[in-house]
Structure 1
């Protein structure tokens, strides 16, 4: 067993937990903040777009069960990689997409997957998701953790109301209960 971490910013972190949470080999998905300069920021501070942080998830996974490349594949299917201003109903720096890499291997895999998505022609606009070196990750407040489990009806209303659910369906995004194959 080789435990690794993957860190992805895909807009609202509430919507980024569920897509990863049900896969074999994923040990935890933590909502939080990364990429900025403020130490131990709060949700309210991050929302001001003055901390440099983005809402993100940190995924602890066993790479002998699920690969980093499989996680990247999931990531590309649960957000809009062509939106440079945020995600769906959430606008601003703190909601922009990014892959935060922790190793040279992750950096290379992220760049390769981003280029493959661009070359696929799936999107007519450029893929604008940033690939950045990993920085300190700060877990969000407890009420933000596993929000889809704690507040399922509000989570579903938010996912639909923000436009995320419709977009994922339109692009043929993943069904959360199934394991992706490459």
Structure 2
């Protein structure tokens, strides 16, 4: 067993856990914050957009069962990679998209996958998802962990109202 971490920002972290959770080789998916200037930020601090953090999911996975490339293939269709102002109904720098790499191999694979998305012709606007070195991960408060399981009705309502699923179906050719 070889365990690694992958960290992705894709807007509201509530919507980014479920696509990765409960797949073979996925050990854990945690909601949290990365990239800011405050040590141990709170949700209240991050949601203002003033701390410099992005909402992220950090995935712990067994590389022998699930590859980083497979994680990237799951990541891209969860987001609008052309939106520099946030994601769907969530606006602000804290909701922008980014791939935080933990190793040089992850960086190389992330850059290659971004190039594939750029060259796919799927989007008319530039791809703005950044690829950045991982920084300290700050775990979000417990009520934000596994939100889709703890608050299924609120989760479904938020996803529907956000327009995320409509975008995914329209732009990524994925049915939900």
Moved over 4 A (4+): 173-176
- The correspondence of residues 19-168 of structure 1 with structure 2, limited to 5 A, is 19-168=19-168
3-state secondary structure, aligned to 2:6: strand
> Matched residues in 1 for 2:67 and 2:138: separation?
24
* Residue 172 of structure 1: how far off its partner (Å): 3.3
Q: CA RMSD in A?
A: 1.1
8 A contact 1:74–1:174 mirrored in 2: no
Gaps in structure 2 of 5+ consecutive residues: none
Secondary structure, in 3 states, of the residue corresponding to 2:169? helix
Contact kept in structure 2, 1:107 and 1:131, CA below 8 Å: yes
User: Is contact 2:32-2:57 (8 Å) kept?
Assistant: yes
User: Following the alignment from structure 1 to structure 2, what is the Cα–Cα distance between the partners of residues 82 and 19?
Assistant: 20
The CA deviation string for residues 75-109 of structure 1, in whole angstroms up to 9 with x for no partner, is 00111111000000000010000000001000110
Q: What CA distance in whole angstroms lies between the structure 2 residues aligned with 1:15 and 1:92? A: 16
Aligned equivalent of 2:13? 13
User: Does the residue aligned with 1:128 lie in a helix, a strand or coil?
Assistant: coil
Shift of 1:173: 5.4
- With over 3 angstroms needed to count, the CA separation of the structure-2 counterparts of 1:44 and 1:69, relative to structure 1, is same
Separation (CA, whole Å) in 2 of partners of 1:61 and 1:173 = 26
2:78 aligned counterpart, secondary structure: coil
Structure 1 unaligned regions, length at least 5: 177-182
TM value normalised by structure 1 = 0.94
In the aligned structure 1, how far is the partner of 2:173 from the partner of 2:134?
A: 26
